Chains A and B, each alone.
Chain A
Amino acid sequence: MIPSAAVSEPPVDSPEPLALGEDAPEPTPPAGKGGLFLPPPVQKDQPTWFQERQWKAWEKFESLPLPHRKDSAWRYTTLGKLDISRYTPAAAVDSSAAEALAARSLGGPEVAGRLVTVNDRVVQRTPLSDELRAKGVVFAPMGDDLSAQRETLLRHFMANESVLGSQKFFALHQAHVRGGTFIYVPKGVHVELPLESFHWIAGEGAAIFPHTLVVAEEGSQVTLIDYLDSADRRQNGFVCGVSDLYVGAGAKVTYLAAQNWGEEVVALKMNTAHVAAGGHLTSLHVNLGARYDRLESHNLLAGAGARSDMLSATVATASQEFDQRTLQDHLAPDTGSDLLYKNSLSDKSKTIFSGLIKVAPGAHRTDAYQKVRNLLLSDDAEADSMPGLEILADDVRCTHGATSGFVDDAELFYLQSRGIPRLLAQQLITQGFLTEVLTRLDDPRATARLADLLAAKFERMKPR
């Protein structure tokens, strides 16, 4: 079924970018395949280089195969959930809807800047202070005039390849991307308060392509919080997001993503982080929503002494499927990475974790850790774990662990003996299990905010 939501701009023949694809034939979708298999709308308002790249990306998308059951990067995934012919690129929403969503965009009380994006279009912004702007900090939607940042953008925008299986969706993202958040922090500048970015998806069958690019130069500091949400939790939709983080030498970047898409949304997100010498990245994903949610995180420890903490807390309920693929890529000596992913699984939910620690030759004194813990709360839940190691240097310390277990009866019994009903006791224990991940953040305020989101999901699933 192809939803009737209007395409924002008709895919008209634009002589400008199309001229590039020399003998580009009129792309005709395979029979029976519509939706996102149709060519993307041409964004005539964008600079030429951007349009060129979009066209090339589209050609690439068409040339790549769809994920296959035998593809090891998609092992255990329910591929049937990924039918992109059901969606069309999201249209702009009217101003009253935009205002309503802006009002629902509740972040922290104090921020350095805030952007609210609905269907890839900015509807509200809280700009940076004059002081930060004077220092050269940029916090802007990609749709703004960023010609002053041309060099940085050319160097970093979509500069990474997807290596964890989603090459085709990566190309799809590039072919469709229209907005996104761009953050640039010059050398030595500390942005003390967090930056917040809200992404909303609205409309039945809508597809959005959120993009985040953070470039933190040497010795700088910045925190970005992404809030991902649906206007109407009953609407189905498709999200294909990319985020690229560049952590310069000695820089400190914290990236938090609160994923709370509606339960009918299919979401893919491809994260790449590049940490230079002495840089430190902390990333935390809280995953609550979506019908199928795939999270790919490729962290490159590219310079000596680089460090990355990769955290995730997932609450899987109903028939949700969370598909998480990570790569801790140690390319330089004295680098460290520490991954902790925790999942709680209820009902008929399913989680997949595939994580690899890769230590390149010469990346000596690497200290890498990876831990995934699954708490199974139902007999119908399924947890698949594939923790991996590939070590090509000898002076290293790499450890991984994967556990799957259930709530300890003794703990339940104790809580029950204190008058707490069994189901509530189980919920408390689960919440405690997941909150441990949040406390790893060195930021009590952010921890509290994310803990509230977790609690809200538990509230929704409370037995009635």
Chain B
Amino acid sequence: METDKAQIDIDRSAGDFSYPMNYEFDAGTGLTEATVDYISGVKEEPEWIRDFRRQALRTFFKKPMPTNWASRDLENIIFNDIRYYLSSGTKPKRSWDDVSPEMKQTFERLGIPEQERKFLAGVEAQFDSEAAYSNIKKVAADQGVIFVGSTEGLKEHPEIFRKWFGKVIPVGDNKFSALNAAVFSGGSFIYVPPGVKVKHPLQAYFRINAESFGQFERTLIIADEGAEVTYMEGCTAPKFETATLHSAVVELVALKGAKIQYITVQNWSNNVFNLVTKRGLAHEDAEIKWIDCNIGSRLTMKYPGVVMKGRRARGEVISIALANDGQHQDTGAKMVHAADDTTSNVVSKSISVGTGRATYRGLVHVPKHLKGCKNNTECDALLINPHSRTDTYPAISVRGNRHAMQHEASVSQVSAEQIFYMMSRGLTESQAMSLSVNGFVNDLVRQFPMEYSVELKRLIELQMEGSVG
């Protein structure tokens, strides 16, 4: 199949719209200490957090860009052209009726209240810098579950917040985690008390509405001993002329025996730089699972990690990436084994369409004097068109003789025989291609909650439309 196949049109109509807004608060473009002070001032934050932001800003200025291995596309981010804070007030509305009509229209189109009515235990929607709407079902609230924005979290629950904030991902972890620490706004703070199992997923939507805007949400989830929680986030943005930056930091803490599942469906428009740092800390017998699906954005660099700090802790990353024309999905996983008998599993599947590029970057680290650690990594890549590109760069470091590590990666094309067979049974070529691609990711898609998996399948079908011909 060497002939050039027709390129695919991505269906982004679901998220590609924006409304003019009159923002009450606007930090302007550019980044100085004044920007940071402005954000802190608007939010009426305590002094310690203002100092934290200033310190982080200095770290951000000092840190170099990750240039030696990262995509050169990063150089196209002009930090001084970005608007770092935009909001219409910092207090999220508790009732849907209080939300302003423009925002409501936005979220109606994204289907938030319906979702909530259906099954979600809590939902928070972030519009540019601040949560526009936030609610949590009574049942969960009665169990003592806290689900609020990061600002509210640090003000109302400092005793839990301060203990873990910035502890899983230090400010200086990388340039973008430092940037987030300096200008963060929004995101979720969740605390699940010991033994509480939150039945339904908690959910957040992130929406960028303004041009040249940088979204820097900060999420901290703590599952106390034996607690269980699932969190889902979805991201969309309209397509503007200029590039937009999304740089989040997400920290998860699973205490003894707790379970956290974090699900992301990222469908930013394809001019968003999506540079996200996500890491979980799993204590004894705890389990952290990242389910990560990247369909949108111009450049995504995201490597969810789990530090397995307690014995028998478990870490898992399930990753699906779809890179279409002009997109680079640079995703992966980091598994740091820091205790005996810890196990980790990484399954990554990527599809490159048109001129899209999908990259897997992985790290598995087993330090000295541990025993019984196990890691399994599988990365499979599917290439659809002659100009599609895929890369795999894992790094596995093992010390000691009581561990078992295996890594496997494969790259292939959709099998011509398969397509031929399906066509001989009456399917069109694009139907056959779509079926084949869906089959490729099917076992991973099934791990998403039902609504999402249906949506994902539909999205993949749309993406594959016209990819052959």
Residues of A whose CB lies within 8 Å of any CB of B are 70-72, 75-76, 361-362, 364, 374, 376-406
Contact = CB atoms under 8 A, between A and B. Distances in A.
B410 interface: yes
A394 B386 contact: yes
A386 to B, nearest CB: 5
Nearest to A369: B410
Given A391-B389, A394-B383, A395-B2, A376 B400 contact: yes
B397 A389 contact: no
Contacts of A404: 396, 398, 403-406
B384 A381 contact: no
Listed residue (B388, B398, B404) with the most chain A CB atoms within 10 angstroms of its CB: B398
A382 B369 contact: no
B97 interface: no
A387 B388 contact: no
A389 B396 CA distance: 15
Nearest to A405: B404
A398 B411 contact: yes
Nearest to B358: A391
Nearest to A400: B409
A390 B360 CA distance: 10
B394 A361 contact: no
A379 B406 contact: no
A388 B398 CA distance: 17
A402 B390 contact: no
A395 B1 CA distance: 7
Contacts of B406: 401-405
A396 B403 CA distance: 33
A385 B369 contact: no
B324 to A, nearest CB: 14
A72 B69 contact: yes
Contacts of B368: 379-380, 382
A290 B402 CA distance: 26
Contacts of B1: 394-395
B394 A397 contact: no
Nearest to A388: B393
Nearest to B405: A404
Contact of A406 (B69, B381, B394, B403): B403
B88 interface: no
A391 B69 contact: no
A389 B400 contact: no
A394 B407 contact: no
B401 A379 contact: yes
Interface string B393-437: 111111111111111111111000000000000000000000000
23 contacts: A76-B397, A364-B2, A378-B400, A379-B369, A380-B400, A381-B401, A385-B397, A386-B394, A387-B407, A388-B394, A389-B381, A389-B392, A389-B409, A390-B389, A390-B391, A391-B381, A391-B389, A397-B411, A398-B411, A402-B406, A404-B404, A405-B406, A406-B404
B294 to A, nearest CB: 19
Contact of B388 (A378, A382, A390, A394): A394
A384 B394 contact: no
A383 B398 contact: yes
B401 A406 contact: yes
Contacts of B371: 379
Interface string B156-190: 00000000000000000000000000000000000
Contacts of A381: 399-401
B402 A403 contact: no
A400 B378 CA distance: 10
A441 B404 CA distance: 29
Nearest to A359: B411
B393 to A, nearest CB: 5
A284 B26 CA distance: 65
Given A72-B68, A385-B396, A391 B390 contact: yes
A406 B413 CA distance: 34
A321 B389 CA distance: 34
A366 B396 CA distance: 26
A388 B394 CA distance: 6
A391 B399 CA distance: 30
- Identify the 5 closest CB pairs spanning chains A and B, nearest first: A389-B392, A394-B383, A376-B401, A404-B405, A398-B411
B400 A386 contact: no
Contact of B410 (A72, A364, A376, A399): A399
A76 B368 CA distance: 15
B387 interface: yes
B365 to A, nearest CB: 10
A76 B365 CA distance: 12
A396 B416 CA distance: 12
Nearest to A353: B396
B405 A379 contact: no
B247 interface: no
Contacts of A362: 386
Given A384-B396, A391-B389, 12 more contacts: A70-B68, A380-B368, A383-B396, A383-B398, A387-B409, A389-B409, A391-B411, A394-B387, A399-B410, A403-B404, A403-B405, A406-B403
A386 B396 contact: yes
A396 B68 contact: no
A301 B419 CA distance: 30
Nearest to B357: A392
Contacts of A402: 394, 396, 405-408
Contacts of A386: 393-396
